[in-house]
Structure 1
Amino acid sequence: MTISRRELLRSGAVLGAGLTLAPRWAWAVDTATDRAAAVGNYPQVASLVDRYATQGKLSGLVATAGWGEAPMEVIARGAGTKGDAHPIGPDSLFRIYSMTKPVTGMAAMILVGEGRLGLDQPLADIIPAFARMQVLVSPDAPVDHVRPATTAITIRHLLTHTSGLGYTIIQKGPIKEAYEKAGIVPGQVSRVPVPGLFFGKAAPNLAEFAERLAGLPLVYEPGTRWSYSVSLDLLGRVIEIVAGMPFDTFLRQRIFGPAGMTSTSFTVPANQAARLTTNYGLLGDVAVPLDPARTSVYLDKPAFPFGGAGLVSSPRDYDRFLMMLANGGRLGRTRVMDEAAVRLGTSNLLPPAAVVEDRFVKSGGFGAGGRVGLGQDAGTFGWAGAAGTVGFVNTRIGLRAGLYTQYMPADALPVQDEFRAAMLADVLARMKRAA
């Protein structure tokens, strides 16, 4: 899903001034006074949050914003579960789904920065089963109607969805059925099969996931087309092979621990279950619980850590990830990532010949698991989630922002696009007042 719009940085000169404005703004988040200040600073965002919270379709929303190393400001309304008296807030837990992808992408960039992984290194160097891939003669062809691939899949391809791999949420026909039968699925949604959101039982572990995937044909020739895929899930297997430790352990040791992200994981601990929000399915004007907080599938360990869609996080935690990117890999005195690796990962890594027709990426680029802004939109990086969340950063000016709520499908409401537009309007208005 897209993360920014071209007008987010319509005027680079105006938004660039934000670097000098940040010290004048209030940043604390833990008192009623501070929340009132945040509403005053971001009136359009506050109006958006209020409108959706009072309409009744969404149980609650949390919006965050921040600049540089200053703490985030928070606007929160509603509850994590309908009828719950406990208000939603910056420490509530949300299924961030595809906002996991930039985290996995940056984990790979850590290894690239250390020289342990090459951006244009063939995937087969690490997982030999991908050495001789076959490609479907057309995306909807039978799985035995194939030809040999002429290009090797590289790490760059995995990071940018140009590997030619498929996705059951995108593909149709025989290849979709083959993926589901092999357990090449995008992650978990509920304990019960939900029509349109259930894609079969996942492979038992990342190693098996990778081996089964290598045995299926590609949808496209590697490097030729941007097509949303399971490539970031596969990258989790690459990371654990190169790092010599389980993928989730690598994330804890190299990103979550150093960044102070204490509430981000693939499983919600039982003693933190009260913080988890409920995920709803929207059927017209009716919101039906898909994954109730108290009995959530995320209370159990998943088949494997899904690097493409498996994380649960809090607005406060994800803001620290965004802050780390905005600061070139550093949080305070702690360096989480090499600055050059961050700059590379948040730049356009698309192969020059790749065709980009998807509306979420068209007119932009793609970096390590997230959309990259180009031209007047330069500096933006991030992605959104299938349950209504969105998070992005502008590394050029230090802006970071996020919206957190839980409903599916995400395109049932225009929340994500409206949040980006509201944030843009508020940022420009604040800068105009301060100029």
Structure 2
Amino acid sequence: MRVRVITAILLGATATVAAHAWQAQPSPQPAPAVQRHAALQALLDRYVTVEKMPGIVVAVGQGDGPTGFYSAGGISIDPGAARAGPDSLWRVYSMTKPITGMAAMMLIEDGKLKLDQPVSDFFPGFAKMRVLTSPDTSLDSVPSRTPVTVRMLMTHTAGLSYNIMAKGPLLKEYEAKGILPGATNAAVEAQARTVRPKSLAEFAERVATLPLIAEPGTKWSYSIGLDVLAAVVEKAGGMPFERFVQTRLFDPLGMTSSYWSVPASQVARFADNYAFAGAAMIPFDPAKTSAYLEPPSFPYGGAGLVMSARDYDRFLHMLANGGMLGGKRVMKAETVRLGMSNLLPKGVAFTGVGGGTGGNTSGTMGFGAGGSVYLTDVPGGASKGTYGWGGAAGTVGWVDPVRRVRGTIMVNYFPADKWPLRTDVVKALYADAAAR
């Protein structure tokens, strides 16, 4: 099965294809809130005008003040496409991971889950894992010495891999067993569904039959850990994972534009996803035929959500407020602090991961519940304790608990690191702050 195209697209491979010409849309006249971030608005306008992306939305908030939404362009290169805005829908891919991580933290708060609890308590197959002796070239393995734990799943230290990271025989095993937790476009999805498990429980059980790339708790390796964690949340929470997230997070936070599959009634605000071939943007997953219009094989806790900038900002606002938003408490402040702290097993370091996966390589970082954590202040940038993650199609979300600042960037194109968007947005925000 040729699902290996997923790896090529997400890690930035290009192909020789015809360019699509389009006319950049100018931004509307900025409202007073936009004028507070003149450098940011100018940056977004410039990105769209020079055709680096069809459209973009950035949400910025501090404390309990109103969120500022800044945008340029549209949700598609097609003539007459709707303008990008706070309620446009975007594939957030790995920005799903912090939501899954915090869902697990809620169960830890409830006493239904422990941070260092063996995953085998929920899926017995994890009791007898094996570790590859040469992960890139062979399936030869030895018995693992350490049990895989909840902490390891949420921090990518369980020894698991990913279909976008694995190589050689292990990648073939992942593909053969359908360990492909994510959708890219309708064509690839049609192939993946033929081998993918039909439920989270079946997914976790199949993962337990695969060898690990490292002894659990000894190495950071980007992985399907958050997808397996979703299966643990489902078991420990006593309800389907998507229902747990809906009732414990989305509903109380007023997140009304967060979907595992986009309803037909909402397609008009759903952005197209593109793949770059050189400087040309090629439609890769058009909204009208998107893989996200059909329910997924199961909810992908590592990469499955479509969301608006307004919704992701509400999630981050809750974290910045220590678990409360709009008078509703969804998590204790100490639970939020723990989830946003460095949870890596002792002796394990996180040195970053390429932006094509949704990650970052800047700063001195640790890892918390599904997202990276800055361990030191960044001059002119994030405070120590800043938590967040990005998505494979360019989205980014972060919260700085010291300054109580949060930010969300919504775009949709592969590869995510085609442009230095994250760095440029942060620079513009600090330029605006200095100009006041």
TM class by shorter-chain length? 0.7 to 0.9
In the alignment, is residue 50 of structure 1 matched against residue 45 of structure 2? yes
Q: Residue 343 of structure 2 aligns with which residue?
A: 349
| SS of equivalent residue, structure 2 residue 303 | coil
| SS of equivalent residue, structure 1 residue 192 | helix
Structural RMSD (CA): 1.8
Mark the CA change 1:407 to 1:200 in structure 2 (over 3 Å): closer, same or farther.
farther
| SS of equivalent residue, structure 2 residue 252 | helix
2:429 aligned residue (394, 399, 423):
423
Q: Residue 376 of structure 2 aligns with which residue?
A: 375
Aligned residues of 1:62 and 1:405 also touching (Cα < 8 A): yes
Moved more, 106-115 or 81-90: 81-90
Give the drift of 1:39: 3.2
Give the drift of 1:122: 0.9
Q: Residue 281 of structure 1 aligns with which residue?
A: 275
Mapped partners of 2:193, 2:43: distance in 1 = 33
Mark the CA change 1:76 to 1:369 in structure 2 (over 3 Å): closer, same or farther.
same
Moved more, 320-329 or 198-207: 198-207
Mark the CA change 1:48 to 1:202 in structure 2 (over 3 Å): closer, same or farther.
farther
- Letter of the 1:424 counterpart: Y
Aligned residues of 1:181 and 1:200 also touching (Cα < 8 A): no
Mapped partners of 1:50, 1:201: distance in 2 = 43
Mapped partners of 2:193, 2:212: distance in 1 = 19
- Letter of the 2:113 counterpart: L
- Letter of the 2:431 counterpart: A
Q: Residue 296 of structure 1 aligns with which residue?
A: 290
1:100 aligned residue (96, 102, 106):
96
More contact order relative to length (CA 8 Å, sep ≥ 6): 1
Mapped partners of 2:318, 2:88: distance in 1 = 21
1:411 aligned residue (396, 409, 417):
417
Aligned residues of 1:224 and 1:355 also touching (Cα < 8 A): no
2:69 aligned residue (74, 84, 97):
74
Give the drift of 1:256: 0.3
| SS of equivalent residue, structure 2 residue 60 | strand
So what's the TM-score if we normalise by structure 1?
0.87
Mapped partners of 1:68, 1:351: distance in 2 = 32
Show CA shifts across 1:103-154 (max 9, x none): 00000000011111000111111211100100001221322x0011111111
2:319 aligned residue (315, 325, 331):
325
Q: Counterparts in 2 of 1:112-151, with a 5 A limit?
A: 112-143=108-139, 145-151=140-146
Mapped partners of 2:252, 2:285: distance in 1 = 31
Mark the CA change 1:407 to 1:199 in structure 2 (over 3 Å): closer, same or farther.
farther
Mapped partners of 2:319, 2:124: distance in 1 = 33
So what's the TM-score if we normalise by structure 2?
0.87
In the alignment, is residue 171 of structure 1 matched against residue 177 of structure 2? no
Mark the CA change 1:91 to 1:220 in structure 2 (over 3 Å): closer, same or farther.
same
1:338 aligned residue (332, 335, 338):
332
Mapped partners of 2:367, 2:132: distance in 1 = 24
Show CA shifts across 1:186-232 (max 9, x none): 300101139xx989853222111111110000011111111100000
- Letter of the 2:56 counterpart: L
| SS of equivalent residue, structure 2 residue 187 | coil
- Letter of the 1:354 counterpart: V
In the alignment, is residue 89 of structure 1 matched against residue 61 of structure 2? no
Aligned residues of 2:185 and 2:291 also touching (Cα < 8 A): yes
Give the drift of 1:356: 2.8
Mapped partners of 1:85, 1:303: distance in 2 = 30
Q: Residue 180 of structure 1 aligns with which residue?
A: 175
Mapped partners of 2:206, 2:397: distance in 1 = 32
Mapped partners of 1:46, 1:80: distance in 2 = 17
Aligned residues of 2:320 and 2:399 also touching (Cα < 8 A): yes
Aligned residues of 2:364 and 2:376 also touching (Cα < 8 A): no
Aligned residues of 2:395 and 2:409 also touching (Cα < 8 A): yes
| SS of equivalent residue, structure 2 residue 185 | coil
2:197 aligned residue (191, 199, 203):
203
Q: Which ranges of structure 1 fall in alignment gaps of 5 or more residues?
A: 1-31
Moved more, 201-210 or 109-118: 201-210
**Count of residue pairs brought into register by the alignment:** 395
Q: Which ranges of structure 2 fall in alignment gaps of 5 or more residues?
A: 1-27, 354-359, 378-382
Give the drift of 1:177: 1.1
Mapped partners of 2:274, 2:376: distance in 1 = 37
Mark the CA change 1:424 to 1:351 in structure 2 (over 3 Å): closer, same or farther.
farther
2:396 aligned residue (390, 401, 408):
390
Aligned residues of 2:351 and 2:365 also touching (Cα < 8 A): no
Mapped partners of 1:241, 1:74: distance in 2 = 38
Show CA shifts across 1:281-312 (max 9, x none): 11111111111111111111010100000000
